[in-house]
A and B are shown apart, each in its own frame.
Chain A
Amino acid sequence: MATFSRKVKDAMDLKISSGKATTEERDAVDSLLGPAPETSQGAERDAVGLRVSHGGESLRELRHLLLPILHAVNDRVGFISRGAINYISQRLDVAPAEIYGVATFYALFDTNERPARQVHVCVDLACRAMAGCTEENLPEGSVASPCLGTCERAPAVLLIEAGVSPRFEVLAPATRNDIVELVGGKSAGIEQPVNAGAPQTPDSSLVLLTRVGIADPLSIDDYIKHNGFTALRRAFEIGPEKVINEVTASGLVGRGGAAFPTGRKWAAVASQPVKTRYLICNADESEPGTFKDRVMLEGDPFALVESMTIAAFATGCQHGYIYLRGEYPRAMRHLENALSIARKKNYLGDNILNSGFNFEITMFKGAGAYICGEETAIFNSIEGFRGEPRNKPPFPVEVGLFGKPTVVNNVETLLNVLPIIQSTGEKYASWGSTGSKGKKLFCVSGAVKTPGVYEVTFGATLRQLIELAGGLKTGSSIQAILLGGAAGGFVGPEDLDLELTIEAARAAGTTLGSGVIMVLDQTVDMVDQLQRIAAFFRDESCGQCVPCRVGTVRQQEALARLVKSSGTASASVDLQLLRDLGQVMRDASICGLGQTAHNAIDSALTRLKVFSA
Chain B
Amino acid sequence: MTEKWREEKWAEGFWYRGKVSRRRVVGWGGGAIGAMMLVPEPWRAAFGAAKSYKIGSEQPLSGVGAIGGKTALVGLQMAADRINKNGGINGRPVELDVVDDQSSPAVARQKVEKMVQEDGIDAHVGGFLSNICLACMPVFEHAKVVNMISVCLDTTLTTTHCNRESFRVHDYAPAQAKAFGPMLAKLAKNWHIVYADYAWGQSTRDSYADGIKKNGANVVGTTGIPLGTADMTPFLSKISGNIDGIFAILFGKDGVTYGNQAYDLGLTKKYISAGDGAVCESSNMPALGKKINGFIGINRYIPVFQGPLNTPYLHAFFDEAKKRLLKVDPSGPLPDRYVQSNYEAMNALKQAMEASKFEGHADTPKLIEALEGMEMKEGYDFPQGNKTLRKADHQAFLREFLFKIVNDDYQLLQVVAKDKTLVPPACTFSA
A and B associate: no
- Residue positions of A touching B, CB distance < 8 A: none
- Residue positions of B touching A, CB distance < 8 A: none
